[in-house]
RNA sequence: UAAGUAAGUCAGAUGAUCGCUGAAGUAAUUCAGAGGAAAGUCCGGACACCAUAGGGCAGGGUGCUGGCUAACGGCCAGUGAAGGUGACUUUAAGGAUAGUGCCACAGAAAAUAUACCGCCGGUUUUUCCGGUAAGGGUGCAACGGUGCGGUAAGAGCGCACCAGUGCUUAGGCGACUAAGCUGCUAGGUAAACCCCACUUGGUGCAAGACCUGAUAGAGAGGCGUAUGGGGCUGCCCGUCCCGCUUCCGGGUAGGUCGCUAGAGGUAGAAGGUAACUUUUAUCCCAGAUAGAUGAUCGUCUGAAACAGAAUCCGGCUUAUAGACUUAGUUAAUUU
RNA sequence: GGAGCUGUAGUGUAGCGGUUAUCACGUCGGCCUGUCACGCCGAAGAUCGCGGGUUCGAUUCCCGUCAGCUCCG
């Protein structure tokens, strides 16, 4: 699958139901900045959802975080072949970190959940 | 030069690589892509549905004058009051003689009554009676203020000036201002109830319309309309529904539309002190749906603030780095 | 996106415009007890979320603002 397709609509978690199922039946891993829920699916590709609480910041701040997360995942396309539903929850500590340390932290979180090598 | 006042503008730019959303195109590709506040949701509209969008009362809102506007609690121009040396700023600013309430403590007395210390007269010299409200004292506030006359002592009792109120004249569309005159003195509070004038139906794009369409009833016609219940903001009137029967077909979830050409932008002309209006030319300028603008590198000038459209407009309020423009004011120095 | 509610000692709450403000739990000190608890007595602890305005005087009335919470798919 092509790299740019990662963020097409079929690769995103959308429905509230899907989120709830992943929360209930999936496994989780957490570090200082992120919580990752993941669960195998039968689609042959992965779907990813983001969850950024209002406690993190105002609207423009949350948008910025989501943009940067998408950029990080775009560079790192190995997630797609896993066929998983993934939810990435952002914690409050992310507020003051810059792009590079965020990327590092996210990779650590994904390694911990054995989604990437 | 310093301090301060008012009005207004911009809101990083540019190049490269990799990406996101929409439109056009068979395709390569091309074009467009967050704000001055997009925010708060404090007002006003458009639009949609609710019942025909109704009547009365209650309730809500606004409150100096004139104008502007689709409308407004907004804006513009003025009036009064308050503040500032000044440029200028602020202003919920109708009515207290329609009525009701309240004015703690203190004080004689807090609104139609009264006299604590006093002053004066008479009698008596402990006091009592009468007159008085000038002085003291209380308080945010004491039935006008200052001065002179007057008096037993006093008092708008009389006079002059001032404050208020009423009337007349002049100016102004008007709020009001100026001058003159007569009578005389009226406590404050309406962001207390209230009165007066104007105004106000409710719900909100999660409005609503259509497509597909499990289970079972949204709709239409007829009959009945006694009681009771429910809906239409609260109550009353009025009105619709709930009952029975016949016909007909269609909740939630999903998708499409609503969804962006508009009280639109830019430039000019005319009218107006201005807000704004009229008109000519020209432009098309986000439309997502878990929700699109990012990352890296280079240069300028320094990894600049507040901060992200969600139906759309007009305002208000709040947040905001840095830079700039224009017009007044005050003070100091020099010529 | 839209609609609403609440802010008062550490916590949960009362409060007619008129004393820098009530009660309970908690805290601190004392009494009681061999000791602790219970009980009794006393004390401290509040910029009434913040900023303006009305008023002689605001926790209370009005305006703005901030924070928290609830409801509507």
Per-residue tens of pLDDT for chain A, all 117 residues:
122 234 555 666 666 667 777 777 778 888 888 888 888 877 777 778 888 877 777 788 888 888 888 888 877 766 666 677 888 888 877 777 777 888 888 888 888 877 765
Contact A62, A56 (CB under 8 A): yes
Looking at residue A91, what DSSP letter applies? P
Q: What are phi and psi of A11, to 5 degrees?
A: -95, 15
The CA–C1' separation of A13 and B251, in angstroms, is: 28
In this structure, the number of other CB atoms found within 10 A of the CB of residue A103 comes to: 18
The CA–C1' separation of A51 and C56, in angstroms, is: 58
What ipTM was reported for this prediction?
0.78
The CA–C1' separation of A35 and B314, in angstroms, is: 46
Predicted TM-score (pTM) of the model is 0.78
Strand partners, A29: A36
pLDDT for A31: 83
């Amino acid at each position: 699958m092509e790299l740019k397709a990662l963020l097409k609509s079929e690769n995103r978690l959308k429905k509230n139901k899907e989120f709830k199922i992943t929360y209930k039946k999936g496994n989780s891993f957490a570090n200082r900045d992120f919580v990752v829920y993941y669960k195998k699916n039968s689609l042959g590709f992965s779907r990813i959802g983001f969850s950024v609480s209002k406690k993190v910041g105002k609207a423009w701040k949350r948008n910025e975080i989501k943009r940067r997360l998408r950029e990080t995942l775009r560079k790192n396309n190995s997630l797609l072949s896993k066929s998983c539903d993934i939810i990435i929850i952002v914690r409050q500590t992310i507020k003051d970190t810059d792009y590079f340390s965020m990327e590092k932290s996210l990779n650590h979180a994904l390694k911990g959940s054995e989604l990437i090598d």
